[in-house]
Chain A
Amino acid sequence: MLRNNAITSVLRGAGLSAPITVTWEVTNRCNLRCVHCLSGSAPDADTSAELGLEEAKAVVDQLAAARVFQIHFGGGEPFVYPGFMELLRHALARGFCCLCISTNGALLNERRIAELEAIGGIYLQISLDGATEASCDAIRGAGAYRRAVAALERLRGSSIVRTVNFVLTRQNAHELDDMHALAGRCGAILRVTRLKPSGRGAEMYTSMRPTQGQLATLHRWLTGHPDVLTGDTFFHLNPFGGTALPGFQFCGAARMTCLITPNGDVFPCAFTQQEHFLAGNLRQENFQHIWEHGEVFNALFRKKEGDACSACPAFEGCGGGCPAVKHALTGRLDIPDPDCVLETARAGIDSAPLCHG
C-alpha cells in the first residue's frame, strides 16, 4: 500500500525474504541460435547436466515453500524441455497463479495452446526482434519471424496473456513504432528490453549496442507509450529527465529476483551467469538457504550504497544502472553503468568509457 523508507530500504538493500519472481532457464537447448542469446543456447546444447523432471518438480516445491510469487520459465526454448507441460501443471497445483514463459513461439501449435489455456495462469512472452522478416531474422535466424507471427496468429482469440518481447539493438532501434503496431495487431502488449553483454550477446555487444542517441529517443518514446512494458530494464535512462519510467528504479537481482539455470545453479539474475556470481546449487542446497545465505547475494548485491554513483544527483532515479552490464564490460560493480547518461554526456561520447581504473 505504501512505499515508505522502511520498504525502500529493504528493496534497495537487504532484499525481500524471498523473490517476487524466479527466472528459471529449464534448458539450454533451443530450436534457434539467435546471435544475441543471453544464455548462449543452441539446438546442439549439452543437456546432460539438466535437472530431470522429478528434480525440477522438487525445485517447484521449494519455491512454493519459500513463498515465491511467480516463476518465469525461459531457456533455451522451454517447450523443448521434456515434461515441461507436466512441470507447469505441477507448479499450478503448488499454488503458483502466474507462470510466465519466454518462448520463440515455434512450438506453439493449436494443441499446445489449448493445453496451456486449460492449465490457466499462463503468460507468454514471444520473442520478435524486428518488425520485418528481414530485420528479425537477421538476429534470430531464418524463419524465426514467420514462426513467431504464426504463433501469435494462432493465439488470437485465446485468453492467454501475451507480450511481444523486443530486444532493442542498434540495428532495430528505428522500428519501435512498427513493433508497437505489430504487437497491437497480434493482440499482444509490446515489451521492450535492454540488450546485455551476456551469452552470445557478449560477443555481439559492441556491434549491436544502441547508441546514446538511440537510447535518448527510446527514453522519449517510452515516456509517450505507457502501455509498453520494459521489464524494468531501462531505469538507467531516467537521468535523461522528465517523469521516471514506471516500475522499479534499481536492480532487483538477489533482492527481488534471481535465476536458476538448467543444472540448478542459482545466480543473481539471468545476465550474471558467471562463476564469480554463483550463489549455490539446488542439488546441494535448499532454495531458501541459498536465497538467505548466498555469499554472492549478500556481499555483492544487497547494499544500498552506489559506490562511484553515491554522490550523483540522479542515483535515486537510476540506481547506478545494471550490475550485469558493468561487470561484463569492465569487471567491476562499483562504477556507473557503461551507458550512464550523465557520464557519456560529460565525456561527449557515444558510450561511456569502459575503464574507470
Chain B
Amino acid sequence: MDFSKCYRFARGFSLRRESFGGILYHYEGKRPDPRLYFIDSPFLIGLLELLEEGPLDELIAQVRAHFHLSDPQVASIREFLTTLASRGAFVAQ
C-alpha cells in the first residue's frame, strides 16, 4: 500500500461511529455475510473518517500529533490499514 497517496473507501465499505469507537462494514458481494470490523480506537476511527482529506502519511501524522500516539500505536495503525487495503477497502484518488 502506498501511504503517500490519497484514498477513498471502495464500494461495499461503510463506516459508522459508535460509543466505543465505530464499525466498519464490508459487503464484498460474493458471499452472503458482510464482514464487520468493530473498532475501539478513537484515533483509527478519526483517521478513517478523514480518509479523503489527504495522503495517508499526512493523515497519520495529524492523528499522531493530535492523540500523542507512540511508535507502536502508529505501527499498529499502518498494519491495520494495510490489512484493509489487502481486502480491497481503498481506492486511490
A residues in contact (CB < 8 Å) with B: 1-4, 6-7, 10, 14, 16-18, 20, 67, 69-70, 95, 97-98, 100, 120-121, 123, 125, 161-163, 189, 191, 229
Does B73 lie at the interface of the complex (its beta carbon under 8 Å from any beta carbon of A)?
no
With the chains together, A342 CA to B14 CA distance in Å?
40
Listed residue (A1, A16, A120, A189) with the most chain B CB atoms within 10 angstroms of its CB: A1
With the chains together, A100 CA to B36 CA distance in Å?
16
Inter-chain CB contacts under 8 Å: number: 73
B30 partner residues in chain A, CB cutoff 8 A: 161
Known: A97-B11, A98-B27. A123 touches B32 (CB 8 A): yes
Partner of A10, one of B18, B36, B37: B18
Pairwise interchain contact B38-A70, C-beta atoms closer than 8 A:
no
Partner of A163, one of B20, B25, B32, B44: B32
Nearest 9 interchain pairs by C-beta: A98-B27, A6-B20, A69-B25, A67-B16, A7-B38, A97-B12, A7-B20, A97-B27, A1-B39
Known: A1-B80, A6-B40. A17 touches B18 (CB 8 A): yes
Does B93 lie at the interface of the complex (its beta carbon under 8 Å from any beta carbon of A)?
no
**From residue B43, how far is it (CB to closest CB) to chain A in Å?**
12
Interface size class of B (residues with CB under 8 A): 20 to 34
Pairwise interchain contact B27-A70, C-beta atoms closer than 8 A:
yes
Pairwise interchain contact B34-A1, C-beta atoms closer than 8 A:
no
Pairwise interchain contact A69-B39, C-beta atoms closer than 8 A:
no
Known: A7-B40, A67-B16, A97-B11. A16 touches B23 (CB 8 A): yes
Pairwise interchain contact B33-A10, C-beta atoms closer than 8 A:
no
Q: Which residue of B lies closest to A227 (CB)?
A: B31
**From residue A5, how far is it (CB to closest CB) to chain B in Å?**
9
Among residues 53 to 76 in chain B, which have CB atoms less than 8 Å away from a CB atom of chain A?
Answer: none
Pairwise interchain contact A121-B27, C-beta atoms closer than 8 A:
yes
Does B17 lie at the interface of the complex (its beta carbon under 8 Å from any beta carbon of A)?
yes
Pairwise interchain contact A70-B18, C-beta atoms closer than 8 A:
no
**From residue B60, how far is it (CB to closest CB) to chain A in Å?**
16
Pairwise interchain contact A2-B39, C-beta atoms closer than 8 A:
yes
Pairwise interchain contact B38-A161, C-beta atoms closer than 8 A:
no
Pairwise interchain contact B40-A4, C-beta atoms closer than 8 A:
yes
Partner of B40, one of A2, A20, A67: A2
Pairwise interchain contact A17-B16, C-beta atoms closer than 8 A:
yes
A123 partner residues in chain B, CB cutoff 8 A: 32
Q: Which residue of B lies closest to A161 (CB)?
A: B32
With the chains together, A233 CA to B33 CA distance in Å?
14
Pairwise interchain contact A97-B38, C-beta atoms closer than 8 A:
no
Known: A1-B37, A1-B38, A2-B39. A10 touches B31 (CB 8 A): no
With the chains together, A7 CA to B36 CA distance in Å?
13
With the chains together, A316 CA to B33 CA distance in Å?
23
B18 partner residues in chain A, CB cutoff 8 A: 10, 16-17
**From residue A110, how far is it (CB to closest CB) to chain B in Å?**
21
Does B41 lie at the interface of the complex (its beta carbon under 8 Å from any beta carbon of A)?
yes
Partner of B36, one of A4, A20, A120, A162: A20
Known: A1-B80, A20-B36. A189 touches B31 (CB 8 A): yes
With the chains together, A121 CA to B13 CA distance in Å?
12
Pairwise interchain contact B16-A69, C-beta atoms closer than 8 A:
yes
Pairwise interchain contact A17-B17, C-beta atoms closer than 8 A:
yes
Pairwise interchain contact A1-B41, C-beta atoms closer than 8 A:
yes
**From residue A99, how far is it (CB to closest CB) to chain B in Å?**
10
Known: A10-B20, A69-B14. A191 touches B25 (CB 8 A): no
Does B19 lie at the interface of the complex (its beta carbon under 8 Å from any beta carbon of A)?
yes
With the chains together, A123 CA to B20 CA distance in Å?
30
Known: A1-B38, A2-B39, A69-B16. A20 touches B32 (CB 8 A): no
Pairwise interchain contact B16-A98, C-beta atoms closer than 8 A:
no
Partner of A121, one of B25, B29, B41: B29
